[in-house]
Amino acid sequence: MYSKNLDLKTEAKAAGVYLWQIADKLGMRDNEFSRKLRKELSAEKKAEIRAIIKELSEVK
C-alpha cells in the first residue's frame, strides 16, 4: 500500500527534521499537520514544505 506524501516524510527524516517542526513553521499543531498528510498534497504545498525542510536542516 502506498503511503500518502511518503516523499515528504522521507525527505524530512533524511534531513533530520521532525514533522512537528514543519507544522510549527506552518503555524499549525502537529496533529493537524499529520491529518493533512493523510491526503496527497498539491504540488504547491509540497514545494512550500520542501522549502521549510531545507530551511530547518540548514539551521542544524
Q: Is residue 47 part of a domain?
A: yes
Q: Is residue 1 part of a domain?
A: no
Q: What is the pLDDT of residues 33-54, one digit of tens each?
A: 999 999 999 999 999 999 999 9
Report yes or no on whether pTM surpasses 0.75.
yes
Alpha-carbon distance 40 to 4, whole Å?
Answer: 5
Instruction: Give the total number of structural domains in the chain.
Output: 1
Range of the structural domain that residue 14 is part of: 6-59
Average pLDDT, the chain: 94
In this prediction, residue 3 has a pLDDT band, given cuts at 50, 70 and 90, of confident
Which residues have a Cβ under 8 Å from the Cβ of 19 and sit 6 or more positions away? 9, 12, 30, 33, 34, 37
Q: Is residue 22 part of a domain?
A: yes
Which residues have a Cβ under 8 Å from the Cβ of 30 and sit 6 or more positions away? 19, 20, 23, 24
Plot region of 37 (φ>0 → left; ψ -120 to 50 → alpha; else → beta): alpha
In this prediction, residue 60 has a pLDDT band, given cuts at 50, 70 and 90, of low
